[in-house]
Amino acid sequence: MQRLRSFSDWLNVVVIYVCVAFVGVMLAISFAGSFYMVITGDSLSWTYSLARLFVPWIGLLSSTVALRYGEHVAMTLVSRNLPRPWSRTMQWLVLATLALLGLLLIETGWDFFLNSTQYYMVSDQFQVHHRWVAAAVPITGVIILVHLVHGHVLLRPSPDGPDGEHDT
The closest of 94, 48, 101, 57 to 72, measured between CA atoms, is 94
Q: H-helix or E-strand containing 107? A: helix 84-114
pLDDT string in tens for the chain (168-residue length): 788 889 999 999 999 999 999 999 999 999 999 999 999 999 888 898 899 999 999 999 999 998 888 765 555 666 667 788 887 788 888 889 999 999 999 999 999 999 999 998 888 888 999 999 999 999 999 999 999 988 766 666 545 544 444 443
Q: Which residues contact 76 (CB under 8 A, 6 or more apart)?
A: 155, 156, 157
Domain extents in the chain: 2-155
pTM score, whole prediction: 0.81
Q: What angle do CA 98, 7, 53 make, to 5 degrees?
A: 65
φ/ψ (deg, to 5) at 48: -65, -45
Report the C-alpha gap between 122 and 160 in whole angstroms.
Answer: 39
